[in-house]
Amino acid sequence: MGAPRVLLLGAPGAGKGTQSRRLVDEFDIEHVTTGDALRANKDMETEYGTPREYMDAGDLVPDPVVNEIVEAALSDAEGFVLDGYPRNESQTEYLDDITDLDAVLYLEVAEAELVERITGRRVCEDCGANYHVEFNPPEEPGVCDECGGDLYQRDDDTEEVARDRIDTYRENTEPVVEYFREKGTLVEIDGEQTPEEVWEDVRAAVADRTDP
């Protein structure tokens, strides 16, 4: 069996980035994340304006911009974990046309917990590792355990923008979750467990669906 093709769904702050990094290490697959790709190109001029205009408001960046990012990334990847895409029905149709999936996982977390996770998140500016000031603090405040890089807070991790992002998720992305649930391919995982416990469930679900 080839490298797994995994879709990881979940609200903002549900733990998609945290679990994706583990999947990448465990299964030797690519991390395809529209959020990171857009953050690296926030001021890129497109015919729709810059990604920053949408991201700082908690809105979705227009579909043609993200579809192009994903199609280019998937064309080079045998196995992958998709994190942050698709986020609406039209992106879901686009994805359907360009690849098949082996596993579709959904990390379920209540809204109150999401806001707390997002506002306490700190990210390494060098390697992208994720921390939380309370739930997963680095050994030395402000410094990445993995590479020694500086930690920063994302521009969109304020409480106000976090709530806008969650509203955008409810309106646009919950129908995507529903689509895979109705299709019978969705694996629902309790995302409120510790990161280790969530990882056990994620790893087992992917292994089950890709082992020969």
Q: Where does this chain bind ligand AP5 (CB under 6 A)?
A: 10, 12-18, 34-35, 38, 54-55, 58-61, 66, 84-85, 87, 91, 117-118, 120-121, 130-132, 135-136, 165, 194-195, 198
Q: Pick the catalytic residue from 22, 42, 52, 154.
A: 154
The full DSSP string for 41-106 is TTT--BTTB-HHHHHTTTPPPPHHHHHHHHHHHHHT-SSEEEES---SHHHHHHHHHH---SEEEE
Could you tell me the two tokens for 190? 């309790």
Q: Pick the catalytic residue from 5, 21, 117, 121.
A: 121
Residues in the chain: 212
The nearest distance, CB 97 to ligand AP5, in angstroms, is 15
Which is nearer to ligand AP5, 16 or 209 (by Cβ)?
A: 16
Query: For the stretch 90-123, what's the b/e string if a residue is b when 16 or more beta carbons lie within 10 angstroms of its beta carbon?
Result: ebbebbeeeeebbbbbbbebeeeebbbbbbbbbb
User: For this structure, is 87 an active site residue?
Assistant: yes
Instruction: Give the helix/strand (H/E) hosting 32.
Output: strand 30-33
Cα separation, 62 vs 67, in Å, equals: 9
* Residue 101 is labelled as binding a ligand: no
The nearest distance, CB 1 to ligand AP5, in angstroms, is 27
* Residue 52 is labelled as binding a ligand: no
* Residue 13 is labelled as binding a ligand: yes
User: For this structure, is 16 an active site residue?
Assistant: yes
Cα separation, 111 vs 164, in Å, equals: 12
Give counts: helices (H), strands (E), the chain. 9, 8
* Residue 39 is labelled as binding a ligand: yes
User: For this structure, is 183 an active site residue?
Assistant: no
SS3 at position 4: coil
Which is nearer to ligand AP5, 80 or 85 (by Cβ)?
A: 85
* Residue 19 is labelled as binding a ligand: no
Which is nearer to ligand AP5, 161 or 209 (by Cβ)?
A: 161
Positions marked active-site = 16, 87, 121, 154, 165
Known binding positions for Zn(2+): 124, 127, 144, 147
Known binding positions for ATP: 13-18, 121, 193
Known binding positions: 13-18, 34, 39, 59-61, 84-87, 91, 121, 124, 127, 144, 147, 154, 165, 193
